[in-house]
Amino acid sequence: MTTTANHLDLATPYTLTPAQIERFREDGFIKLKQVFSAGELAHYGQEVTRLVMDLNPRKGIPMEQRTTYAKAFIQVGNLWTKSDTVKQFSFSKRIARIATELLGTSGVRMWHDQALYKEPAGGFTPWHADEQYWPMATEKCVTAWIPLQATPMEMGPLCFATGSHKTDIARDMAISDDSETVIQEAIDREKLELDYGPFDLGEVSFHYGWTLHRAGPNTTDRARAVHTVIYMDKEMKLAEPANENQRKDWEAWTPSTKVGEVMDDALNPALFSRE
């Protein structure tokens, strides 16, 4: 692990209003401005980027030889286990507290963190719901999507289908070209409103595991650098996997947990608890 003597303050609470919490639960997502400062993002983002470049599973594979999924982003998970600096970032009490308040739980624990870097000329990210991959007993989980730079439309920010966490659209579909087509058709049919816009520097989005989302391509000459932390209810229990993706994620992210048990594996530390 790398270490750093520079400990920035990531515990200062971010004030959420009751209206914001209500909107998150109704819409299935929320975008919050000024969650992180430019200095915090620069400091921690430098280390996230270093690890992504070192661990890039797509290294040396031309874009034209990749699948749609592989074109969408470089994906590297559990970075907190590889760097003390990233661990400080992913363990931020500020965002863990936000996740707790949005979910309305007594606290949250980590499912995992991961970097999602959309390379220059990187393709679109198809419509999908994250929880299709996660063997969780309830819907009490949320992803914090943290861009490490301002993210204009040309870089491919997230697009959310408002209220889609309350539907059962394509919950059995993994992310793919097929999910893009089937979910878009369902969104059109159900007349769900889309929220698609740029992210300011320091702006962070939070979305439920069943909220449908996608992202456009990156048409700029810079990588769209994003760090994510996925939180779950501190009391979340492992559900019997419903598909092979969930079985693989069980093995990867909470290997010591048995079905029906609270997921308190060493890889799932509690990150925030209400007093």
**What phi and psi, each to the nearest 5 degrees, are found at residue 169?**
-65, 120
Identify whether the C-beta of residue 27 lies closer than 8 Å to the C-beta of residue 162: yes
Give the right CATH number for 18-257 from 2.60.40.1080, 3.40.109.10, 2.60.120.620, 2.160.20.10. Answer: 2.60.120.620
Q: pLDDT tens for residues 74-94?
A: 999 999 999 999 999 999 999
Distance separating alpha carbons of residues 79 and 176, to the nearest angstrom: 25
Q: pLDDT tens for residues 165-178?
A: 999 999 999 999 99
* Res 3: pLDDT: 36
Residue with tokens 């907190």: 80
Confidence of residue 4 (pLDDT cuts 50, 70, 90): very low
Cα R_g (the chain), whole angstroms = 18
Residue type, 156: G
Domain extents for the chain? Answer: 18-257
> How many alpha carbons lie under 13 Å from residue 14 in its C-beta half-sphere?
25
Residue 2 has pLDDT above 50, yes or no: no
Residue with tokens 């999602």: 116
Instruction: Quote the pTM value.
Output: 0.95
Distance separating alpha carbons of residues 246 and 240, to the nearest angstrom: 9
Inter-axis angle of helices 18-27 and 93-103, nearest 10: 70
Residue 43 has pLDDT above 90, yes or no: yes
pLDDT more than 70, % of the chain = 97
